[in-house]
Amino acid sequence: MSGEHRTGGTDAFYVRVQAAVADAPTPYRWQRRERGFDMIADVPTTGRHTTQVHTYRVDLDPGELTFVMTDIVRTETHGPGPVRARSVETGRSRYWVTGGSVDGAERQSFSSTAGHRLIRGVAGELGWREIKPTGQQAAKVFGIVGGVIALGTLIALAVVFWP
């Protein structure tokens, strides 16, 4: 597959996702990357001293028509002085948050699954398929291996100590 066609597939994916979020209730920012793009949303928070940003990192492989989506959630807690706490969570995050102004005039909500559905919907329309992140695949394998070892240990203990 030619590089031009691959770039065109990546561009088409990017443009379609941008068009799909035009009517979304959550405002998104965009950042192009070498292998895909980041779709970034400011998450409404209940505390006035906390800011949270949710990034949907999408890595595209136009040769295989596959993509990997990773959530990156950055949270900062501010105090009277400099920033007191920062955290970054990477992986797959699913949560829903609502917030609003003190007088109740302005209500905001954010659902991380809305961004997932949006990206997956565009991918399905264009014939792309999702591949789970490597870390998630490794965790699944380790979980299965751990379960098999635990089951084997229980069976061995039952055989050894059976009256």
Q: What are the pLDDT digits (tens) for 68-127?
A: 998 888 888 877 777 677 777 776 665 656 555 555 555 666 777 888 888 999 999 999
Sign of CA dihedral 83, 108, 43, 10: negative
Q: Beta strands 96-100 and 83-91: pairing type? A: unpaired
Domain assignment of residue 158, given as a range: 133-163
Q: What is the value of pTM for the model shown?
A: 0.69
* 47 plus 70 within the same structural domain: yes
Per the prediction, the chain carries an average pLDDT of 80
Q: Give the whole-number percent of the chain exceeding pLDDT 90.
A: 25
* 110 plus 138 within the same structural domain: no
Residue 53: which H helix or E strand, with range? strand 50-61
pLDDT at 59 over 70: yes
Structure tokens at 81: 């002085």
- Alpha-carbon distance of 76 to 51, in angstroms, equals 5
* 102 plus 141 within the same structural domain: no
Structure tokens at 158: 């039952």
* 11 plus 91 within the same structural domain: yes
Which parts of the chain fold into alpha helices (H)?
3-20, 112-126, 134-161
- Alpha-carbon distance of 111 to 97, in angstroms, equals 6
Render 3-30 in DSSP notation, one character per residue. Answer: HHHHHHHHHHHHHHHHHHGGG-SS-EEE
- Higher per-residue pLDDT: 95 or 135: 135
Q: Is residue 101 helix, strand or coil?
A: coil
Q: How many domains does the chain have?
A: 2
* 137 plus 163 within the same structural domain: yes
